[in-house]
Amino acid sequence: MGARRRSDALRPLSDALRTAFGRHKTARKGLDDRVASTQDVPDLTDVGAATADRLKRIAMAISLKVNGVVHSVAAEPDTPLLYVLRNDLELNGAKFGCGLEQCGACTVLLDGVPTRSCVRAIQDIGQQEVTTIEGLGTVDKPHPLQQAFIDEQAAQCGYCINGMIMTAKELLDRIPHPTEADVRATLAPNLCRCGTHNRIVRAVLRAAQANGKT
């Protein structure tokens, strides 16, 4: 009764929905267009007119080592690292929060040092190795810190958690068994709005405990 047949109306939209998070062929192609791996850096001595524009862009490409893989990125040198990570490399972990290095949602490690990727230009990265939260572990094989955040259910919206984990990573690398006060002080520059502070602290301390056992 009163049924609105919706299959026709929905079908075209379902295609868009299917791809909303997908790394499907078209998106992949677009990505490949912008990011070339180091294996296929072109020989610039033989430039065909048709590919001139593309080669020109690759010529000004910047090399970045992210999570152990070298990428060549065709973007303006002053582009903040955050946008390259999110849009070119399709890494979701680092988040845009303020663009002012105030909140910490965009934190990544540069040679192991927590860095606000929203203001760090790619031209200034040089040989430093970028580690994002994707480089720590996966859903199937989480890093002990990621596992501790799952075990403690340490998230509400979770938007700040990337920064919390990446900042805590460096802390635990430096001090394997920090005090609660160490954890709170280290994470103080990272803002959380939902009020998950205590679970976040507990998750870091839990991961620190795991440090001793492995």
Give the per-residue contact string, 9-28, with other proteins (x = CB under 8 A; - = no): xx-xxx-xxxxxxx-x-xx-
CA–CA separation, 181 vs 187, rounded Å? 10
User: How deeply is 162 buried, as exposed, middle or buried, from its count of CB atoms within 10 A (0-12, 13-18, 19+)?
Assistant: buried
Binders of other proteins among residues 59 to 88 (CB under 8 A) are 75-76, 79-80, 83, 86-87
Which one among 192, 205, 207, 208 touches other proteins, defined by CB under 8 A? 192
Q: Which residue lies nearer to other proteins by CB, 46 or 141?
A: 141
Task: Tell whether residue 177 is a contact of other proteins (CB under 8 A).
Answer: no
Task: Tell whether residue 37 is a contact of other proteins (CB under 8 A).
Answer: no
Task: Tell whether residue 120 is a contact of other proteins (CB under 8 A).
Answer: no
Q: Which residue lies nearer to other proteins by CB, 45 or 74?
A: 74
What tokens does 195 get? 């009020």
CA–CA separation, 125 vs 165, rounded Å? 21
Task: Tell whether residue 56 is a contact of other proteins (CB under 8 A).
Answer: no
Q: How many helices (H) and strands (E) does the chain have?
A: 8, 6
Which one among 96, 129, 175, 210 touches other proteins, defined by CB under 8 A? 96
Give the per-residue contact string, 97-116, with other proteins (x = CB under 8 A; - = no): xxxx-xx-x-----------
Q: Which residue lies nearer to other proteins by CB, 7 or 45?
A: 7
Q: Which one of 36-44, 45-53, 123-131, 133-141 is the stretch in contact with other proteins (CB under 8 A)? A: 133-141
CA–CA separation, 88 vs 45, rounded Å? 27
Which residues have a Cβ under 8 Å from the Cβ of 28 and sit 6 or more positions away?
A: none
Distances (CA, A) of 81 to 39, 111, 170: 22, 14, 19
Query: At closest approach, how far in Å is the CB of 45 from other proteins?
Result: 27
Task: Tell whether residue 52 is a contact of other proteins (CB under 8 A).
Answer: no
Axis-axis angle for helices 180-187, 161-174 (nearest 10)? 130
